[in-house]
Structure 1
Amino acid sequence: MLDPKRGGSPAGRTFARSWGGSGSVIDIDGPVHWVEYGDPEAGSLPVVMVHGLGGSHLNWVRVAPALAERTRVLTVDLPGFGLSPAGKRQTGIPANVAVLHRFLTEVVGGPVILMGNSMGGMISMFEASAHPDTVAALVLVDPALPAAQRMPHPRIAAQFAMYMTPFVGERYLQYSSRRMTDRQLVERVIDLCFADPARASEDVLEAATELAKYRREQPSQDAAFLQASRSLMRVMARPQRYLQAMRALEQPVLLLHGDRDRLVPVAAARKVAADNPRWDTVVLPGVGHTPQLEMPDAVLDHVLTWIDRHGLV
């Protein structure tokens, strides 16, 4: 393994040190960066956190340290995101499920509580369904879900339509990168994902801006982002296999969903919750697509209460 704090690694550096995170890199057909919190020997079940489309290990810094007081916590950067360059690897949903499975078996080495946001929630469900021995329980934070009665916000629908269109998606990302500063790129994501952007932590904004600057200086990751987004939309367009994976889950599941999520409407979460009555579901009022960043205390309260009720840690 390579430690990005010591130099010479593909990742180069770690951006979560301010929150007590320690970064490392493993080779899974290319570098995969992750950040660890807490004592590796603490707790009966580690928690592994998986970010969404365009995200990174920084998506979890407002909840990971508190959870690490109870158990080992690891946050992973999927290939093409954060500090894990895609290289020659595929970055679609099946490829990232395979990378996550190898991470769980080669780095953690035992069952985990898998916690996924957005695309990371989808990847986590596929992993838990295909390999139930690696996942003892699931926490889904505004996971990517098939549309229900209510379609996504028009801005979101238009944006993903551009991503899906060959050449148009590539030009859109290139144009956005050229015309915006690193801070503006981060603030655009916050405006999209938060119900109230004023809730954003300045420390997280600064770290995310530094990460955006670092990524801008690396070979373009646009192709990896577009491949992941197009794969995600293909799953949504033909969701039968995804819905089957959900129904196959036998592990305890906690679904947390903001009722002001513009990317995944809360109607979709309510529909999935109704179809899977064994799940524990909490709708968070006045919260957007990334509750763990926007309302971390509420997320921690629900997660820790659920963990205690099921005797997981």
Structure 2
Amino acid sequence: MNHSRTCTAEDGRTVTWAEYGDPQGVPVLFCHGTPGGRLVAAHSHDSYLRQGLRVLSPDRPGYGGTDPLPGRSVRDAAPDALAVLDACGVRDAFVVGGSGGGPHALAVAVAAPDRIRAVGVFVGAAPLLGAERDGQVAINQAVMDRLDQPGELRDLLDRMRTTLREEGLASLLTDAPESDREQWARHAAARQQSLQEALDPGIEGMFDDYQAIFGGAWGFDPEQVAVPVVWAHGDQDRNVPASAARRIAARIPRCRFIGWADVGHSPGPELVAEFYTALLAGVC
């Protein structure tokens, strides 16, 4: 199941999304990672079916079939997500974000708290302190070092895009924890198809994501998230160190933080299913 569709955002741009799971299930708006796109949720379709979830997975600006929004903040991308809910006739939903999608999921809740029942964040991205950068995988350190040098960042992302499309994610993250590399090997073909489609338009999605998440203000403060939040993070994460995630989560008024022991940046499907169960159980 995919059923990619498009709608028009309030600013006239095209937004593209895919739908997975149970069409009559509990609506969940899914915010993909960085880089990523709407197809990344495809390999979880059967799990969503079993859990009774209707998952709406849009491309963020600049990825896949969604028009770019240059110079945006994290919050600036929220209207696109809400446009997808409108197009699907969904009044209220859960919103879930993984990795770079985490801040964007929180932004949707800030933009429309009356429409979001709760937020789920797993291995969510967060601004880093100096020592936390030193603990990252090498490619992420390289990105962080170039955030204030747009030209050099673009050159790096161009090279990253070529590698990702030709060789896959694992080739850029050879220094990631073994558990992450094992998870990437699962559904490798589907993951690769998702990356290739997401990066087909170019690097604008990646560039704006990195700048918005790590290079400046998000456009909102974590204290403004008024709905319940469940944040789960692995203690072996070398993409986003758990200390950075805990620091942001501690500022969210109604946040339950779940620490995953011996888990990196790619939790297995069993943990992700447990995460969704915890998210829904706290509200339903």
TM range (shorter): 0.7 to 0.9
In the aligned structure 2, how far is the partner of 1:181 from the partner of 1:303?
A: 29
Q: Given the alignment of the two structures, is residue 253 of structure 1 paired with residue 237 of structure 2, yes or no? A: no
Q: Shift in Å at residue 138 of structure 1?
A: 0.7
AA paired with 2:78? V
Q: Report the CA distance shift for 1:91/1:113 in structure 2 as closer, same or farther (over 3 A).
A: farther
Count of equivalent residues: 277
- What corresponds to 1:74 in structure 2? 56
- What corresponds to 1:307 in structure 2? 280
| TM-score where L is the length of structure 1 | 0.76
AA paired with 1:208? R
Q: Shift in Å at residue 297 of structure 1?
A: 0.5
- What corresponds to 2:41 in structure 1? 60
Q: Report the CA distance shift for 1:73/1:175 in structure 2 as closer, same or farther (over 3 A).
A: closer
Q: Given the alignment of the two structures, is residue 145 of structure 1 paired with residue 126 of structure 2, yes or no? A: yes
In the aligned structure 2, how far is the partner of 1:215 from the partner of 1:273?
A: 29
Q: Report the CA distance shift for 1:261/1:195 in structure 2 as closer, same or farther (over 3 A).
A: farther
Q: Report the CA distance shift for 1:121/1:170 in structure 2 as closer, same or farther (over 3 A).
A: same
Residues 214-260 of structure 1 show CA distances to partners (whole Å, capped at 9, x for unaligned) of 566x44x123421331122233xx57x64x3x223232211111111
Q: Given the alignment of the two structures, is residue 101 of structure 1 paired with residue 82 of structure 2, yes or no? A: yes
Q: Shift in Å at residue 276 of structure 1?
A: 4.0
Query: Larger deviation: 22-31 or 280-289?
Result: 22-31
Q: Report the CA distance shift for 1:31/1:204 in structure 2 as closer, same or farther (over 3 A).
A: farther
Q: Shift in Å at residue 285 of structure 1?
A: 1.6
Residues 40-86 of structure 1 show CA distances to partners (whole Å, capped at 9, x for unaligned) of 333xx4111101221123433344432333132211111212x2243
Contact 1:163–1:169 under 8 Å retained in 2:
yes
**Structure with larger Rg:** 1
SS in 2 for 1:84: coil
Contact 1:33–1:77 under 8 Å retained in 2:
yes
Q: Shift in Å at residue 111 of structure 1?
A: 0.7
Residues 89-139 of structure 1 show CA distances to partners (whole Å, capped at 9, x for unaligned) of 336324312212222233343110100112211111122122101211110
In the aligned structure 2, how far is the partner of 1:77 from the partner of 1:99?
A: 9
Contact 1:50–1:76 under 8 Å retained in 2:
yes
- What corresponds to 2:70 in structure 1? 90
Query: Larger deviation: 155-164 or 47-56?
Result: 155-164
Q: Report the CA distance shift for 1:184/1:131 in structure 2 as closer, same or farther (over 3 A).
A: same
Q: Report the CA distance shift for 1:84/1:274 in structure 2 as closer, same or farther (over 3 A).
A: same
Q: Report the CA distance shift for 1:132/1:209 in structure 2 as closer, same or farther (over 3 A).
A: same
| TM-score where L is the length of structure 2 | 0.83
Which consecutive residues of structure 2, in runs of 5 or more, have no partner in the other structure? none
In the aligned structure 2, how far is the partner of 1:224 from the partner of 1:274?
A: 28
SS in 2 for 1:271: helix
Q: Given the alignment of the two structures, is residue 31 of structure 1 paired with residue 25 of structure 2, yes or no? A: no
Q: Report the CA distance shift for 1:164/1:105 in structure 2 as closer, same or farther (over 3 A).
A: farther
- What corresponds to 1:268 in structure 2? 244
Q: In angstroms, what is the RMSD of aligned CA positions?
A: 2.9
Q: Report the CA distance shift for 1:169/1:289 in structure 2 as closer, same or farther (over 3 A).
A: same
Could you tell me which of 269, 273, 278 is aligned with 1:296?
Answer: 269
Q: Shift in Å at residue 189 of structure 1?
A: 5.1
Contact 1:91–1:224 under 8 Å retained in 2:
no
SS in 2 for 1:226: helix
- What corresponds to 2:212 in structure 1? 231
Q: Report the CA distance shift for 1:181/1:276 in structure 2 as closer, same or farther (over 3 A).
A: closer
Q: Report the CA distance shift for 1:186/1:284 in structure 2 as closer, same or farther (over 3 A).
A: same
Could you tell me which of 160, 176, 182 is aligned with 2:144?
Answer: 160
In the aligned structure 2, how far is the partner of 1:59 from the partner of 1:283?
A: 24
AA paired with 1:37? Y
